[in-house]
Copies of this chain bind each other. A is one copy, B any other.
């Protein structure tokens, strides 16, 4: 899949801070093993089809996303339902989200390399790290994966959960700053009820 490890592992690592509360993030892959764009081979924890059962799905990026965007057999294995799932994508993953028909009229975040292809797919590309509307979120920049995780934590957990998870992974001596930046990057895109109770 030639994925970018940063996207997937940062978000999964942050979400797995919630293991004690019953959350579990799995790495899903189209085959039993996949080799990343940097040459690291990993084993799928779940097949791609698991995405239809999950409460939340994040689509990372990689160097082969344009090929995948044309692979209708592979895309057909990803059945998403934003009525009951939180769905996020980042960087070139946004192109797949668009090809999966999930963006509709929403604007989205993506990287500079993928931008022309996302625009060609009819999507307005935003120049900001994170955007969400309802159950659909996009982010850009590998390290913005922390914002997708924070958004999910605030939506399905609490603001305290999101703050604690980001606090844990942030550099020592810069933790308050990282937490404020993560919450600040996502809070405008939460339903009013959550944003208000969290403020």
Q: Which residues of A contact B (CB under 8 A)?
A: 4-6, 9-10, 12-13, 16, 25-27, 33, 38-43, 45, 109, 111, 127-130, 139-144, 146-147, 168-175, 178, 181, 185
Contact = CB atoms under 8 A, between A and B. Distances in A.
Secondary structure call for the A interface: mixed
Give how many copies assemble into the complex: 2
A20 B139 CA distance: 26
A75 B33 CA distance: 29
13 contacts: A5-B5, A10-B10, A13-B38, A26-B39, A27-B40, A39-B45, A41-B42, A130-B171, A141-B175, A142-B169, A142-B170, A143-B178, A174-B185
Given A171-B130, A172-B144, A10 B6 contact: yes
Choose among A5, A129, A140 the residue with the greatest number of B CB atoms under 10 Å from its CB: A5
Contacts of A139: 171
Contacts of A128: 172-173
Given A140-B171, A171-B147, A38 B10 contact: no
A41 B43 contact: yes
Contacts of A25: 38
A5 B43 CA distance: 14
Contacts of A27: 40
